[in-house]
């Protein structure tokens, strides 16, 4: 291993426009969320592999001598990045006792970690301790698993020497070159496959590249020179099933094809118009008219999503509370509860934000003032991290 410690972080994600239409071949815009997952990897001489996960009282540890036999005869030793090694996954499930149908967040995080560790370090397993903390709530559709997998991928590949360590002594944060970022993204996608089965690849791409990404017909294209936008992020904390919501939209399209297909076309047009507006903002500088257009598109898309049947009374409350203060909101992700975003203009007064916070919290929601368009995965020095984050990582 080339260095003793690696500190990395990756952002979460929100869907700005195009929820549900993307699975029907339309355009969607995904964007990085400046709530991040942080991971520290330390090389040790313990003869063990350890991981500390958030909200767990104790670390999990495995002897390297116990892990080594799991690799025998596995194609994972060849570093296959096209398909998961089903045999290795089966052995890992038997080794950890994680059932095939498990959806437990901790269990799936452990499974992804062990698979990626064994495949990255297949030729020479090393003693390491990994500690993770995240600003992202899990299960809220904000890409928390992808941010975790991107961090794992970047740290493990760097520690193994497969990719460089881009941070210099003069820097607090640094990013990898394009080819190395693509490798990080491919390994993170393997982790996403373990956790989600058949992911789109959007979440890990956002976590890797950051900024805004265009998703269309399976192709993911990062957008250049886009602005960072301030938002309120609201978690209604209303649980929902993405699978059920996606199925419901599909059923409605099949039942009312001539009605719903134009809706999907309109959603795609909203995504394209938003992309054009963001490009103009980056090229010529943001104007009041640009923000007017973004707000109108938010309102239009929220109506689209209600027509699709993925709205919820909690999201209606979010829209009502924010609109009363001149702010515009929409759901992000699958809908049916979950999270929503509210655009903040540069001139939005702090008192307006505070009163909005207070009323939304009185509704039982969680709120954050943050931004979208944040950088993707980065390596950091300790000086780049807040004392709060360092305190948590050091407390494990």
Regarding predicted confidence, which is higher, 317 or 241? 317
H or E segment and range at residue 212: strand 212-216
Q: Determine the average pLDDT of the residues in 103-115.
A: 92
- Asked whether residue 132 carries a pLDDT value surpassing 90, the answer given is yes
Confidence of residue 57 (pLDDT cuts 50, 70, 90): low
Q: Determine the average pLDDT of the residues in 233-244.
A: 88
Candidates 279, 277, 306; CA nearest to 294 is 277
Q: Which of 21, 145, 268, 314 is catalytic?
A: 145
Q: Determine the average pLDDT of the residues in 221-242.
A: 90
Q: Which of 178-182, 194-198, 222-226, 287-291 has the lowest mean pLDDT?
A: 222-226
Give the Cα separation of 279 and 53 in Å (integer): 39
What pLDDT score does 81 carry?
67
Q: What percent of the chain has pLDDT over 90?
A: 79
* pTM for this entry: 0.93
Q: Determine the average pLDDT of the residues in 190-211.
A: 92
In whole angstroms, what separates CA 138 from the centre of its chain? 10
What pLDDT score does 1 carry?
44
- Asked whether residue 76 carries a pLDDT value surpassing 60, the answer given is no
Residue 203 is among the residues annotated as catalytic for this protein? yes
Give the Cα separation of 146 and 140 in Å (integer): 12
Residues with Cβ < 8 Å from 131, sequence gap 6 or more? 39, 40, 42, 51, 52, 393, 396
In whole angstroms, what separates CA 171 from the centre of its chain? 25
What pLDDT score does 2 carry?
45
Confidence of residue 116 (pLDDT cuts 50, 70, 90): very high
Regarding predicted confidence, which is higher, 190 or 141? 190
What pLDDT score does 141 carry?
85
Q: Determine the average pLDDT of the residues in 23-39.
A: 92
Give the Cα separation of 324 and 218 in Å (integer): 38
Q: Which of 21, 32, 203, 329 is catalytic?
A: 203
pLDDT digits (tens, 9 = 90+) for 151-180: 999 999 999 999 999 999 999 999 999 999
> What is the crossing angle of helices 257-284 and 242-255, to 10°?
120
- Asked whether residue 77 carries a pLDDT value surpassing 60, the answer given is no
- As a whole number, the mean pLDDT across the chain is 92
What pLDDT score does 390 carry?
93
Residue 362 is among the residues annotated as catalytic for this protein? no
Q: What are phi and psi of 301, to 5 degrees?
A: -65, -35
Q: Determine the average pLDDT of the residues in 177-204.
A: 93
């Amino acid at each position: 291993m080339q260095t003793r410690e690696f500190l990395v972080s990756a952002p979460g994600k929100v869907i700005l426009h195009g929820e549900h239409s993307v699975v029907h071949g339309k355009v969607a815009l995904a964007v990085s969320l400046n709530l991040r997952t942080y991971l520290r990897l330390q090389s040790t001489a313990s003869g063990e592999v350890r991981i500390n996960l958030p909200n767990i009282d104790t670390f999990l540890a495995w002897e390297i001598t116990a892990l080594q036999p799991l690799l025998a005869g596995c194609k994972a030793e060849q570093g296959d990045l096209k398909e998961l090694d089903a045999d290795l996954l089966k052995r890992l499930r038997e080794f950890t006792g994680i059932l095939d149908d498990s959806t437990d967040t901790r269990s799936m995080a452990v499974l992804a970690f062990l698979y990626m560790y064994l495949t990255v370090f297949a030729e020479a397993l090393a003693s390491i301790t990994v500690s993770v903390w995240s600003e992202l709530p899990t299960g809220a559709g904000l890409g928390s698993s992808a941010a975790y997998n991107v961090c794992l991928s970047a740290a493990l590949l760097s520690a193994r020497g497969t990719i460089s360590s881009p941070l210099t002594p003069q820097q607090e944060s640094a990013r990898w070159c394009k080819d190395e970022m693509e490798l990080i993204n491919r390994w993170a996608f393997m982790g996403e496959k373990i956790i989600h089965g058949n992911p789109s690849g959007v979440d890990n791409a956002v976590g890797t590249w950051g900024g805004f990404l265009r998703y269309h017909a399976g192709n993911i294209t990062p957008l250049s020179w886009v602005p960072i936008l301030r938002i309120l992020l609201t978690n209604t904390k209303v649980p929902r099933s993405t699978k059920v919501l996606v199925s419901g939209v599909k059923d409605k399209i099949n039942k009312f094809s001539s009605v719903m297909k134009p809706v999907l076309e309109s959603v795609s047009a909203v995504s394209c118009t938003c992309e054009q507006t963001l490009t103009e903002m980056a090229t010529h500088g943001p104007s009041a008219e640009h923000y007017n257009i973004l707000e109108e598109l938010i309102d239009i898309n929220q109506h689209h999503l209600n027509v699709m049947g993925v709205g919820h009374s909690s999201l209606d409350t979010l829209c009502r509370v924010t609109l009363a203060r001149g702010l515009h909101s929409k759901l992000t992700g699958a809908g049916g509860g979950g999270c929503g975003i509210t655009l903040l203009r540069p001139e939005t007064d702090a008192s307006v934000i505070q009163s909005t916070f207070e009323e939304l919290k009185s509704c039982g929601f969680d709120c954050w003032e943050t931004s979208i368009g944040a950088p993707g995965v980065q390596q950091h020095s300790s000086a780049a991290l807040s004392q709060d984050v360092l305190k948590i990582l050091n407390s494990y």
